[in-house]
Amino acid sequence: MLAVQDIHTYYALSHILFGVSLQVERGEIVCILGRNGAGKTTTMRSIMGLNPPRKGRVIFKGEDITRMPVYKIAHMGMGFVPDDRRIFPDLTVGENLEIAAKGGSKKSRWDKEKVYQLFPALKAIDSRKGGFCSGGEQQMLSIARALMGNPDFLLLDEPTEGLAPLVVRELMDQIGRLREEGISILMAEQNVKSALNLADRVYLIDRGQIRFQGSVKELNENEEIRKKYLLV
């Protein structure tokens, strides 16, 4: 579904990603793990076209999207849930969703009702203003809003950041249900344990380079790698 091939990404003169390659197969949840500043967000922004790589390629559904504008990439079925959530605080939960539906295709697979089936907790607060939602509710809303664009591939940037353990567990269950709905996922995380319960495969990034790739089991068995790149 997605193949990132040897990308180099910069912010102005700062060289941030050094030949990152990774793949996500259809139906997979793949986790990209790494410490603060390792390059997780930059990798996602490179994929989504928000910060295109200067070298290397991004292939999505067999098409080279490396230099495609963001709206076209979104139209091809890629959704991005940024780490800062970007909920409209003055709009209600329902309005936040409706506004995202605008411009969607007519044969839209996801609508508000379907999204509420997946996130019943959101239905219960349909008329609450975004700014009055808890961190967990805002994160669900942020994912729900991305679904309104009918993606079949989602980039989730640290979805559990700042959430209480109980909320994290609930959110992870819901992300697992997205996979059952046929959505493939690339998720960035620092919160290793919760992500690993869900992920099919893992990449470990450090200082802009992939240092490990493998199954969750392989990472669990490799204490040296975990110590070196994950534990602070």
Ligand X SMILES: Nc1ncnc2c1ncn2[C@@H]1O[C@H](COP(=O)(O)OP(=O)(O)OP(=O)(O)O)[C@@H](O)[C@H]1O
> Which spans of this chain sit near ligand X (rule: CB under 6 A)?
11, 14, 16, 34, 36-42, 190
Cβ-based nearer residue to ligand X, 96 or 139: 139
Question: Whole-number minimum distance, CB 80 to ligand X, in Å?
Answer: 13
Question: Whole-number minimum distance, CB 79 to Mg ion, in Å?
Answer: 17
Question: Whole-number minimum distance, CB 41 to Mg ion, in Å?
Answer: 3
Q: Evaluate whether 54 touches 9 at the Cβ level (below 8 Å).
A: yes
Cβ-based nearer residue to ligand X, 10 or 88: 10
Beta-carbon contacts of 227 under 8 Å, excluding residues fewer than 6 positions away, are none
Which single residue brings its beta carbon nearest to Mg ion? Answer: 41
CA distance linking residue 154 with residue 27, whole number of Å: 11
Q: Evaluate whether 7 touches 55 at the Cβ level (below 8 Å).
A: yes
Question: Whole-number minimum distance, CB 145 to ligand X, in Å?
Answer: 20
Stretch that binds Mg ion, among 32-40, 110-118, 165-173, 204-212 (CB under 5 A): 32-40
Cβ-based nearer residue to ligand X, 46 or 96: 46
Q: What binding mask, one character per residue, do residues 41-70 give for Mg ion by CB under 5 A, x or -?
A: x-----------------------------
Amino acid found at 215: S
Q: Is 194 in the site for Mg ion (CB under 5 A)?
A: no
Stretch that binds Mg ion, among 6-14, 33-41, 118-126, 221-229 (CB under 5 A): 33-41
Cβ-based nearer residue to Mg ion, 11 or 132: 11
E strand or H helix that includes residue 8: strand 2-11
Question: Whole-number minimum distance, CB 225 to Mg ion, in Å?
Answer: 21
Cβ-based nearer residue to ligand X, 53 or 125: 53
CA distance linking residue 66 with residue 9, whole number of Å: 11
Among the listed residues 185, 206, 179, the one whose alpha carbon sits nearest the alpha carbon of residue 42: 206
Cβ-based nearer residue to ligand X, 38 or 178: 38
Residue 30 bridge partners (DSSP): 186, 201
CA distance linking residue 120 with residue 139, whole number of Å: 14
Stretch that binds Mg ion, among 21-29, 40-48, 91-99, 175-183 (CB under 5 A): 40-48
CA distance linking residue 28 with residue 24, whole number of Å: 6
Question: Whole-number minimum distance, CB 45 to ligand X, in Å?
Answer: 8
E strand or H helix that includes residue 57: strand 55-60
CA distance linking residue 144 with residue 115, whole number of Å: 6
Q: Is 203 helix (H, G, I), strand (E, B) or coil?
A: strand
